[in-house]
Amino acid sequence: MKFFAILTSAFLLAGTAWADAVPGQAAPAFEIKDATGKWHKLADFKGKWVVLEWFNKDCPFVKKHYSSSNMQKLQQDYTAKGVVWLTVNSSAKGKQGYVEPQQALADAKERRAAPSAILLDTDGKVGKAYGAKTTPHMYVINPDQQVVYAGAIDNNDSSDPKVIPASKNYVVEALDSALAGKPIATASSRPYGCSVKYN
C-alpha cells in the first residue's frame, strides 16, 4: 500500500500547479511572506473580504493606475471599510519588476500605496495557483474564501491614465455590491496588462 500512498501524494502535489481561481469556487490557499517578513495564510483572513492585486512596478498598465492615484485610492477606501488588500508581486528574480523586500517597502511608501500587505511571490507559486496572467490581474474573495471576481481592474485596456474616469471599474462594482449585500453583476472579465514575469 506504500506504493499507493506515494502515488496519491505525488499526484496531489502535481495537481497544485496551474490550477485557476474560478469565480464561484474556493480560492486557492496560500502561505507566503510579505515584504516585512511576516507570514500570511489565506485562511487567516477568513471572515473578511480580500482583494488580490497582481503588481509589477515597471508595467505600463500598473503605472497607469498608480500615476493617476487610482489604485492607492481604492486601497485606502476599501481597507478603511475592513477589506484586506493584498498586493502580490510574482516577478521572478532577474525579471522585470523584481524587487528586494526593503525596496518594495520603500517604493510603496513613495507611491503612497496603502495595501494591507505586499506579498513577494518570487517563485510564482501563488500566481500560478490563481492563474494570474497579467499585471494588474485582480481577484476578490468573499468571507467564506470563495472567489467572487477574477479579471481586469476595469473595462478599458488602454495604458493611458486619462481614460480612468470614464472606465467602469469591475473591482469597485464587485466590492460595493458585495458590501451592500447585493449580487455581483460581473464575476469575471478578460484581464489586461503586461504578462506576469514568471520564471
Smallest CA-to-CA distance from 43 within 84, 104, 77, 13 is with: 84
Residues 115-154 that bind another protein (CB under 8 A): 131, 133-134, 150-151
Q: C-alpha 12: how far from its chain's center?
A: 24
State how far the Cα of 113 lies from the Cα of 87, in Å rounded to an integer. 10
Stretch that binds another protein, among 2-10, 45-53, 76-84, 100-108 (CB under 8 A): 2-10
Residue 159 Cβ vs another protein, minimum distance, rounded to whole Å: 4
State how far the Cα of 101 lies from the Cα of 92, in Å rounded to an integer. 13
Residue 151 Cβ vs another protein, minimum distance, rounded to whole Å: 7
Rounded-to-10 torsion of CA 36, 37, 42, 47: -50
Judged by CB under 8 A, the residue of 32, 51, 52, 59 near another protein is: 59
Stretch that binds another protein, among 41-49, 82-90, 166-174, 181-189 (CB under 8 A): 181-189
State how far the Cα of 53 lies from the Cα of 15, in Å rounded to an integer. 24
Residue 195 Cβ vs another protein, minimum distance, rounded to whole Å: 4
28 near another protein (CB under 8 A): no
Judged by CB under 8 A, the residue of 76, 146, 155, 159 near another protein is: 159
**What track of x and - describes contact with another protein for positions 88 through 107 (by CB under 8 A)?**
-------xx-----------
Judged by CB under 8 A, the residue of 105, 117, 172, 187 near another protein is: 187
20 near another protein (CB under 8 A): yes
CA distances from 151 to 23, 32, 93 (A): 10, 22, 25
In three-state secondary structure terms, 146 is: strand
Residue 134 Cβ vs another protein, minimum distance, rounded to whole Å: 5
Cβ density class 24-33: b for 16+ within 10 Å, e for less: eeebbebebe
Residue 60 Cβ vs another protein, minimum distance, rounded to whole Å: 4
Smallest CA-to-CA distance from 71 within 92, 85, 91 is with: 85
Contact set with another protein (CB under 8 A): 2-4, 7-8, 10-16, 19-23, 58-61, 95-96, 131, 133-134, 150-151, 157-160, 187-198
